[in-house]
Amino acid sequence: MMNSFASSGGKVPEPGSAEISAMVGGISAMGVIIGFVLKQWGNYKNRKIRFMKTLGDNLYFKNLDNNAGVFHRIIDDAEEEECKEALLAYYFLLCSGKGLSSSEPDREIEEWFERELRVSPDFEIRDALRKLNELKLCKIVGENEKGGEIWQAP
């Protein structure tokens, strides 16, 4: 059997139009595959960079704090809770109109929490009334039959 190279006398045969179109098609397909792979690699790198940026931003901006900042955060949270406690007591005293003994707003606030929020806290009314009295937002207007103080918001 003789191959085509030997039969052509050692000359490389000139490719025909079918061979040229097959080579162009193969090179084009390889170029498309390489382009697709490079595009996917770029998408992966960009997505990874965006993820790392988001992660860094979240860790930076949502960081609780450290050292002295932790104490400031705890103190701020405690002050906020004290303010909420005083506001609740003031609101219930103000809405009563007639004045309440120190145990009545305590009971009413705890019942309100149970009814509206389905939680049962132990509300510290004495501390809230003391704060309101210091701020002159409530005052003692008398005593009830048991000798307890009657508080009223002006």
Q: 3-class DSSP state for residue 115? A: helix
Whether the Cβ atoms of residue 133 and residue 139 lie closer than 8 Å to each other = yes
Q: Structure pTM?
A: 0.51
Beta strands in 30-93 (DSSP E): none
Q: Which domain holds residue 35?
A: 18-63
| Domain co-membership, 42 together with 78 | no
Q: How many domains does the chain have?
A: 2
Q: Confirm whether 7 is domain-assigned.
A: no
Q: Check whether residue 133 and residue 89 sit in a common domain.
A: yes
- Whether residue 152 has pLDDT greater than 80: no
Residue with token string 């050292």 = 67
Express each pLDDT in 61-117 by its tens digit.
776 566 677 778 888 888 888 888 888 888 888 887 777 787 788 888 888 888 888
Q: Which residue has the tokens 């792979």?
A: 37
- Domain shared by 80 and 108, yes or no: yes
* 73, 57: one domain: no
- Residues 6 or more apart from 5 whose CB is under 8 A from it? 12, 13
Domain shared by 101 and 140, yes or no: yes
Beta strands in the chain (DSSP E): 100-101, 139-143, 149-152
Same domain (yes/no): 73, 29: no
In a domain, 10, yes or no: no
